[in-house]
Amino acid sequence: MEEKNEKLHMLEAQIAELSGQVKLLTGQGTEDKISMIVFSGDLDKLLAAFIIGTGAVAMGLDVVMFFTFWATPALRDPNKSAGGKDMMGKMFGAMLPKGSDAVKLSKMNMGGMGTAMMKSLMKKKNVASLPEFIEMAGELDVKIFVCEMSMDLMGFSREEMIDYPGMTYCGVAKFLEEAKGSRIQLFL
Protein backbone atom coordinates (compact mmCIF):
# COMPACT_ATOMS: atom_id res chain seq x y z
CA MET A 1 0.00 0.00 0.00
CA GLU A 2 2.78 2.40 0.95
CA GLU A 3 4.68 1.52 -2.20
CA LYS A 4 1.61 2.35 -4.26
CA ASN A 5 1.28 5.72 -2.56
CA GLU A 6 4.88 6.52 -3.30
CA LYS A 7 4.42 5.67 -6.96
CA LEU A 8 1.34 7.86 -7.07
CA HIS A 9 3.30 10.78 -5.65
CA MET A 10 6.03 10.27 -8.20
CA LEU A 11 3.47 10.24 -11.00
CA GLU A 12 1.84 13.39 -9.66
CA ALA A 13 5.21 15.14 -9.56
CA GLN A 14 5.94 14.04 -13.11
CA ILE A 15 2.58 15.31 -14.35
CA ALA A 16 3.13 18.65 -12.65
CA GLU A 17 6.53 18.98 -14.31
CA LEU A 18 5.19 17.99 -17.72
CA SER A 19 2.25 20.37 -17.57
CA GLY A 20 4.72 23.14 -16.73
CA GLN A 21 6.73 22.30 -19.83
CA VAL A 22 3.61 22.14 -22.00
CA LYS A 23 2.67 25.60 -20.74
CA LEU A 24 6.08 26.87 -21.80
CA LEU A 25 5.92 25.19 -25.21
CA THR A 26 2.46 26.47 -26.06
CA GLY A 27 3.63 29.97 -25.27
CA GLN A 28 1.25 30.59 -22.41
CA GLY A 29 2.41 33.50 -20.34
CA THR A 30 2.83 35.58 -23.48
CA GLU A 31 -0.12 37.37 -24.99
CA ASP A 32 -0.87 38.34 -28.57
CA LYS A 33 0.84 41.61 -27.95
CA ILE A 34 3.63 43.66 -29.51
CA SER A 35 5.78 46.04 -27.46
CA MET A 36 7.86 48.66 -29.20
CA ILE A 37 10.53 50.94 -27.83
CA VAL A 38 10.26 54.07 -29.96
CA PHE A 39 13.64 55.72 -29.40
CA SER A 40 14.29 57.58 -32.63
CA GLY A 41 12.90 61.03 -33.33
CA ASP A 42 13.29 60.72 -37.10
CA LEU A 43 10.24 61.01 -39.34
CA ASP A 44 11.04 57.83 -41.28
CA LYS A 45 11.54 55.68 -38.19
CA LEU A 46 8.48 57.10 -36.43
CA LEU A 47 6.42 56.34 -39.54
CA ALA A 48 7.71 52.76 -39.52
CA ALA A 49 6.76 52.44 -35.85
CA PHE A 50 3.20 53.64 -36.44
CA ILE A 51 2.73 51.55 -39.60
CA ILE A 52 3.73 48.46 -37.62
CA GLY A 53 1.60 49.58 -34.67
CA THR A 54 -1.60 50.20 -36.62
CA GLY A 55 -1.01 47.12 -38.79
CA ALA A 56 -0.55 45.01 -35.67
CA VAL A 57 -4.00 46.05 -34.39
CA ALA A 58 -5.43 44.79 -37.71
CA MET A 59 -3.63 41.50 -37.10
CA GLY A 60 -5.40 41.15 -33.77
CA LEU A 61 -2.47 42.15 -31.56
CA ASP A 62 -2.54 44.47 -28.57
CA VAL A 63 -0.02 47.22 -29.19
CA VAL A 64 2.18 49.05 -26.72
CA MET A 65 4.51 51.87 -27.80
CA PHE A 66 7.03 53.13 -25.26
CA PHE A 67 8.35 56.56 -26.25
CA THR A 68 11.75 57.45 -24.94
CA PHE A 69 14.63 59.84 -25.61
CA TRP A 70 14.57 61.47 -29.08
CA ALA A 71 11.08 60.17 -29.83
CA THR A 72 9.58 62.03 -26.87
CA PRO A 73 9.42 65.50 -28.56
CA ALA A 74 7.28 63.99 -31.34
CA LEU A 75 4.47 63.76 -28.78
CA ARG A 76 4.58 67.48 -28.01
CA ASP A 77 1.54 69.51 -28.97
CA PRO A 78 2.61 72.47 -31.16
CA ASN A 79 -0.35 74.49 -29.88
CA LYS A 80 0.50 74.09 -26.22
CA SER A 81 3.27 75.55 -24.14
CA ALA A 82 4.44 75.24 -20.59
CA GLY A 83 5.85 77.90 -18.34
CA GLY A 84 8.23 77.76 -15.44
CA LYS A 85 11.13 76.13 -17.29
CA ASP A 86 14.77 76.62 -16.32
CA MET A 87 17.36 77.69 -18.87
CA MET A 88 18.23 74.15 -19.98
CA GLY A 89 14.56 73.26 -20.32
CA LYS A 90 13.95 76.33 -22.44
CA MET A 91 16.96 75.45 -24.62
CA PHE A 92 15.85 71.87 -25.18
CA GLY A 93 12.34 73.07 -25.80
CA ALA A 94 13.52 75.44 -28.51
CA MET A 95 15.99 73.07 -30.16
CA LEU A 96 13.93 69.90 -30.29
CA PRO A 97 11.06 69.45 -32.74
CA LYS A 98 7.71 70.64 -31.46
CA GLY A 99 5.38 67.82 -32.36
CA SER A 100 5.10 65.05 -34.94
CA ASP A 101 4.74 67.44 -37.85
CA ALA A 102 8.12 69.01 -37.08
CA VAL A 103 10.33 65.89 -37.12
CA LYS A 104 12.81 65.36 -39.96
CA LEU A 105 14.04 62.48 -42.09
CA SER A 106 17.09 60.56 -40.81
CA LYS A 107 18.64 60.73 -44.27
CA MET A 108 18.38 63.23 -47.13
CA ASN A 109 16.93 65.95 -44.94
CA MET A 110 19.01 68.54 -46.86
CA GLY A 111 18.20 71.40 -44.55
CA GLY A 112 14.52 70.47 -44.49
CA MET A 113 14.11 70.31 -48.28
CA GLY A 114 14.27 66.51 -48.39
CA THR A 115 11.71 66.20 -45.61
CA ALA A 116 9.36 68.63 -47.37
CA MET A 117 9.73 66.66 -50.61
CA MET A 118 9.03 63.37 -48.84
CA LYS A 119 5.94 64.83 -47.17
CA SER A 120 4.52 66.09 -50.47
CA LEU A 121 5.30 62.72 -52.08
CA MET A 122 3.49 60.93 -49.25
CA LYS A 123 0.48 63.17 -49.73
CA LYS A 124 0.47 62.48 -53.46
CA LYS A 125 0.67 58.72 -52.84
CA ASN A 126 -2.06 58.84 -50.20
CA VAL A 127 0.27 57.75 -47.38
CA ALA A 128 -1.02 58.99 -44.05
CA SER A 129 1.05 61.72 -42.36
CA LEU A 130 2.63 61.15 -38.96
CA PRO A 131 -0.01 63.28 -37.13
CA GLU A 132 -2.71 61.27 -38.93
CA PHE A 133 -1.06 58.01 -37.90
CA ILE A 134 -0.98 59.11 -34.26
CA GLU A 135 -4.65 60.01 -34.37
CA MET A 136 -5.46 56.67 -36.01
CA ALA A 137 -3.42 54.79 -33.40
CA GLY A 138 -5.51 56.46 -30.69
CA GLU A 139 -8.73 55.35 -32.37
CA LEU A 140 -7.35 51.80 -32.66
CA ASP A 141 -6.51 51.60 -28.94
CA VAL A 142 -2.74 51.55 -29.43
CA LYS A 143 -1.33 52.24 -25.97
CA ILE A 144 1.33 54.92 -25.66
CA PHE A 145 3.69 55.05 -22.69
CA VAL A 146 6.07 57.96 -22.28
CA CYS A 147 9.39 57.71 -20.50
CA GLU A 148 9.20 59.95 -17.45
CA MET A 149 12.97 60.34 -17.27
CA SER A 150 13.20 61.60 -20.86
CA MET A 151 10.47 64.12 -20.09
CA ASP A 152 12.42 65.29 -17.06
CA LEU A 153 15.80 65.41 -18.85
CA MET A 154 14.45 67.46 -21.71
CA GLY A 155 12.41 69.63 -19.40
CA PHE A 156 9.03 68.73 -20.91
CA SER A 157 5.94 68.96 -18.79
CA ARG A 158 2.78 66.92 -19.27
CA GLU A 159 0.70 69.97 -20.07
CA GLU A 160 2.59 70.54 -23.34
CA MET A 161 2.02 66.98 -24.65
CA ILE A 162 -0.69 65.89 -27.10
CA ASP A 163 -4.11 64.73 -25.91
CA TYR A 164 -3.80 61.02 -26.61
CA PRO A 165 -6.35 58.62 -25.12
CA GLY A 166 -4.88 56.86 -22.10
CA MET A 167 -1.34 58.17 -22.57
CA THR A 168 0.64 57.01 -19.54
CA TYR A 169 3.90 58.29 -18.10
CA CYS A 170 6.14 55.59 -16.71
CA GLY A 171 9.60 54.15 -16.28
CA VAL A 172 11.48 51.15 -17.56
CA ALA A 173 9.73 48.64 -15.30
CA LYS A 174 6.33 49.32 -16.86
CA PHE A 175 7.77 48.77 -20.32
CA LEU A 176 9.50 45.55 -19.27
CA GLU A 177 6.31 44.22 -17.70
CA GLU A 178 4.54 44.78 -21.02
CA ALA A 179 7.46 43.39 -23.06
CA LYS A 180 7.72 40.28 -20.90
CA GLY A 181 4.17 39.31 -21.77
CA SER A 182 4.50 40.18 -25.46
CA ARG A 183 5.22 37.82 -28.31
CA ILE A 184 6.99 40.53 -30.28
CA GLN A 185 9.34 43.23 -29.05
CA LEU A 186 10.92 45.85 -31.28
CA PHE A 187 13.36 48.70 -30.80
CA LEU A 188 13.03 51.52 -33.28
Partner 1 sequence: MEDIKVDKVLDLKGLPCPMPVVKVSKGIKEVEVGQILEAHTSDPGALADFPAWARTSGNEIVKTETEGKITRFYIRRNK
Q: How many CB atoms lie under 10 A from the CB of residue 34?
A: 24
Closer residue to partner 1, CB minimum distance, 5 or 26: 26
Closer residue to partner 1, CB minimum distance, 49 or 96: 49
127 binds partner 1 (CB under 8 A): yes
Torsion of CA 67, 72, 77, 80, to 10 degrees: 130
21 binds partner 1 (CB under 8 A): no
Q: Is the CB of residue 103 less than 8 Å from the CB of residue 46?
A: yes
Query: Element (H or E) spanning 120, and its range?
Result: helix 113-124
The minimum distance between CB 183 and partner 1, in angstroms, equals 12
59 binds partner 1 (CB under 8 A): yes
72 binds partner 1 (CB under 8 A): no
Work out which of 1, 16, 25, 58 binds partner 1, going by CB under 8 A: 58
136-175 positions binding partner 1, by CB under 8 A: 136, 140
Task: Read off the DSSP letter of residue 30.
Answer: -
124 binds partner 1 (CB under 8 A): no
CA distance 138 to 13: 48
55 binds partner 1 (CB under 8 A): yes
**Cβ-based neighbours of 126, under 8 Å, separated by 6 or more:** none
Q: Is the CB of residue 93 less than 8 Å from the CB of residue 156?
A: yes
The minimum distance between CB 124 and partner 1, in angstroms, equals 11
The count of chain residues that interact with partner 1, using the rule CB under 8 A, is: 13
Question: Does residue 98 sit in helix, strand or coil?
Answer: coil
The minimum distance between CB 48 and partner 1, in angstroms, equals 11
Query: Where on the chain is the footprint of partner 1 (CB under 8 A)?
Result: 51, 54-55, 57-60, 125-128, 136, 140
